[in-house]
């Protein structure tokens, strides 16, 4: 196994282990105090119904959180898949669709399994209808933006551009997760779990695609 594949495997195993440990702590209620403390830190002093900061910041948070929504991510994925289709890059198109589609399935199953209630400590700043753990927005932002970042960076020759594109992907993922906590629709540990699950799934798919490509006759 090449060094890059070994590193990918280490990342996947590490993400799975960290997610399992976090999930165990959440189920036991060991993270409740920390979750509540962080959530209240993002609320106006003396008024838990009001997020910290001016109204324009709240509106920006809703704009950012939409970047992790199903509609935005589906459009970005399908649009990119269309580009690969026109370029006759069928392998990249299949890799993208399988990674994002599989991520949606994994996220949905995880929510059903853990069935954690949404935060009831503060009013929700966005409409929600599913369980809380792990954060679907955070997980799917990690899956989609990291996958798109890798696909774009792979076609660039300049190392600085590669780092820039991957940094943007990571930044988008982080911002979406933070916005979910700021809007009061997720506990911080929901978001952390989403980041772990999403990045682990994205890297696992990258490892799988790399192995398939290498073993192809």
Coil, helix or strand at residue 88 = coil
Provide Rg for the chain, Cα atoms.
Answer: 18
DSSP lists the bridge partners of residue 43 as 51
Domain residue spans of the chain: 3-215
- Spell out where the chain has E strands: 43-44, 47-51
Rounded average pLDDT over 30-58: 91
**Closest Cα to residue 44, out of 54, 32, 34, 59?**
54
**Closest Cα to residue 89, out of 217, 196, 213?**
213
Output the pLDDT for position 216: 57
CA–CA gap between residue 100 and residue 197 (Å, rounded): 13
Residue 51 has φ and ψ, to the nearest 5°, of -60, 150
Output the pLDDT for position 217: 52
**Model confidence at 214: pLDDT above 80:** no
CA–CA gap between residue 194 and residue 106 (Å, rounded): 11
Mean pLDDT of the chain: 91
């Amino acid at each position: 196994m090449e060094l890059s594949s070994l590193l990918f495997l280490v990342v996947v195993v590490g993400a799975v282990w960290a997610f399992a440990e976090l999930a165990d702590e959440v189920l036991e209620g060991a993270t409740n105090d920390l979750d509540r403390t962080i959530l209240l830190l993002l609320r106006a002093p003396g008024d838990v119904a009001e997020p910290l900061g001016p109204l324009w910041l709240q509106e920006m948070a809703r704009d950012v959180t939409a970047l992790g929504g199903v509609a935005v991510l589906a459009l970005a994925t399908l649009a990119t898949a269309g580009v690969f289709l026109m370029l006759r890059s069928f392998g990249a198109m299949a890799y993208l669709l399988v990674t994002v589609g599989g991520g949606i399935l994994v996220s949905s199953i995880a929510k059903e399994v853990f069935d954690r209630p949404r935060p009831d400590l503060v009013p929700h700043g966005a409409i929600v209808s599913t369980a809380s753990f792990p954060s679907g927005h955070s997980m799917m932002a990690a899956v989609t933006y990291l996958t798109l970042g890798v696909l774009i960076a792979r076609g660039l020759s300049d190392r600085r551009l590669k780092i820039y594109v991957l940094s943007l992907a990571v930044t988008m993922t982080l911002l979406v997760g933070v916005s979910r906590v700021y809007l009061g629709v997720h506990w911080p540990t929901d978001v952390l779990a989403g980041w772990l699950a999403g990045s682990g799934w994205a890297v696992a798919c990258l490892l799988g695609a790399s192995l398939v490509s290498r073993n192809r006759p």
